[in-house]
Amino acid sequence: MAVLKLLRAPLKYVQGKGALLKLYDETKDLGKSFLFICSNSGYKSCYEKIEKSFEGTNCKLRFEVFGGISSNGEIEKMRKIVREDKIEVVVGIGGGSAIDTAKATAHYEKCPVVVIPTVCATDAPCTGLSVIYNDDGTFDSYLFYPRNPEAVIVDSQVIANAPVKFLVAGMGDALGTYFEARACVRTDAPSLENGGIALSAMALCELCYKTLIKCGYQAKLACENHLVTSAFEAIVEATTYLSGVGADNGGLAVAHSVYNGFTALPECEKTMHGSLVAFGTIAQLIIENAPKEEIKEVMDFCYSVGLPVTLKEVGVTDVTRVRIAAEKACIPGETIHNMAGDVTPDQLYDALLTVDLLGQEYLKK
Ligand SMILES: [Zn+2]
């Protein structure tokens, strides 16, 4: 039997300036006692609006600033609070880790989960999976859930007040979405949710890319100055919803394997996920021998918003080290193997160095 097409998404997605003031209205059907699992900065940027939104209701709110990584120990701690306080709704507030901790806690305790992203750096808000770490901070596993979050509430002003580097990284992560899904469609590879790729999923991925090209640069300027404009709103949606739901239902290929590969190099430790995904997207286009206009459009975009186009910009100064990353990116199980004709470490190495050469020419202009 052919692979069945599959689409998964959050039940509800709400976005706009001041959206947090409507949090009670948007979540009141889920329960009466709420546990907010917050990153440090997430707590500071959100709790006043949240308390205001619940003013005059009989709901119980408990805020917990969590330990910083989505580890098994942290999840256990939060599960205990859910049981002791008879929590009915778990809310994650912050970047990837606070959200992943909230999703895991809610899943194990069989509560609905609401996600309030405070930055747009990753695909964590809308997906039905978490990255789990050991208590010492090393990678443990991916945890896949049967459902996506009940609600994702994005206050655009909160995102605009966060440092612009997160928005830029989010655009890098979103840049891979269309090209990776396109590669999966070509080989009938399954999506992240292990389903066939629906036309609707592909439409989201395409819209994600078009929105980046149209609004990316202007959104970056807006964020640098904490302004909320239509272009900024479009990019918040592209990096949070279109990229998250698109990647989940569209599949991954070279760009995310390049990210995984470069995590083997300590010199790239500080480079954000989305920056490496953007660099990997260009490498994927080189491997595909994509039309030169397409490569130019992607590189123009990266350059305009400050995403890396050279190895130096991702933290690599000794190019021979790229071999280590290329080997790791091609281990069995990596999404790079979703490519037509497959990709060897040698081919990937050559593509990565080609990106660097093109990028260096770019920076000279
Ligand atoms: Zn990603």
Report CA(51)–ligand 1 centroid distance (Å).
32
Q: Name residue 160's beta-bridge partners.
A: none
Report CA(97)–ligand 1 centroid distance (Å).
14
* pLDDT for the residue 139: 75
pLDDT tens string 300-357 = 999 999 999 999 999 999 999 999 999 999 999 899 999 988 899 999 999 999 999 9
Report CA(54)–ligand 1 centroid distance (Å).
34
CA 194, CA 5: separation in Å to the nearest integer?
9
Report CA(106)–ligand 1 centroid distance (Å).
23
CB-based burial label for 348 (10 Å; 0-12, 13-18, 19+) = buried
Q: Are 98 and 113 in contact (CB under 8 A)?
A: no
Q: Is residue 68 predicted with pLDDT exceeding 90?
A: no
pLDDT category of residue 138 using cuts at 50, 70 and 90:
confident
Report CA(161)–ligand 1 centroid distance (Å).
22
**More confident: 32 or 341:** 32
Q: Name residue 16's beta-bridge partners.
A: 155
Report CA(330)–ligand 1 centroid distance (Å).
17
DSSP 3-state of 340: coil
Taking CA atoms, 229 is separated from 121, 213, 240, 243, 310, in Å, by 19, 16, 16, 20, 31
The mean predicted confidence, pLDDT, of the chain is 95
Q: Map tokens 């389903």 to a residue.
A: 195
CA 28, CA 176: separation in Å to the nearest integer?
36
Q: Map tokens 């660097």 to a residue.
A: 356
DSSP H or E segment with residue 172: helix 164-187
Report CA(173)–ligand 1 centroid distance (Å).
5
pLDDT tens string 227-276 = 999 999 999 999 999 999 999 999 999 999 999 999 999 999 999 999 99
What average pLDDT does this structure show over 66-91? 94
Q: Is residue 161 predicted with pLDDT exceeding 90?
A: yes
Report CA(4)–ligand 1 centroid distance (Å).
24
Report CA(295)–ligand 1 centroid distance (Å).
20
CA 341, CA 358: separation in Å to the nearest integer?
24
Q: Which of 69, 54, 72, 62 is nearest to 99 (CA)?
A: 69
Predicted TM-score (pTM) of this structure: 0.95
Report CA(271)–ligand 1 centroid distance (Å).
13
What average pLDDT does this structure show over 33-43? 96
Report CA(248)–ligand 1 centroid distance (Å).
10
Percent of the chain's residues with pLDDT above 70: 99
Taking CA atoms, 125 is separated from 100, 129, 339, in Å, by 8, 9, 27
CB-based burial label for 171 (10 Å; 0-12, 13-18, 19+) = buried
DSSP H or E segment with residue 339: none
Report CA(53)–ligand 1 centroid distance (Å).
32
b/e sequence 128-160, b meaning 16+ C-beta within 10 Å: bbbbbbeeeeeeeeebebeebbbbbbbbbbbbb
Q: Are 74 and 48 in contact (CB under 8 A)?
A: no
pLDDT tens string 239-253 = 999 999 999 999 999
The residues, ordered by sequence, that sit 6+ positions from 262 with a Cβ below 8 Å of its Cβ are 268, 271, 276, 314, 316, 325, 329
Report CA(294)–ligand 1 centroid distance (Å).
21
The residues, ordered by sequence, that sit 6+ positions from 215 with a Cβ below 8 Å of its Cβ are 230, 231, 232, 234, 235, 238
Report CA(176)–ligand 1 centroid distance (Å).
8
Q: Which long-range contacts (CB under 8 A, 24 or more apart) does 225-233 make?
A: 226/157, 226/160, 226/161, 227/160, 228/17, 228/156, 228/157, 228/160, 232/156, 232/160, 233/15, 233/16, 233/156
Q: How far apart are the first and last CA of the chain?
A: 53
pLDDT category of residue 1 using cuts at 50, 70 and 90:
low
CA 102, CA 100: separation in Å to the nearest integer?
5
Percent of the chain's residues with pLDDT above 90: 87
DSSP classification of residue 12: E
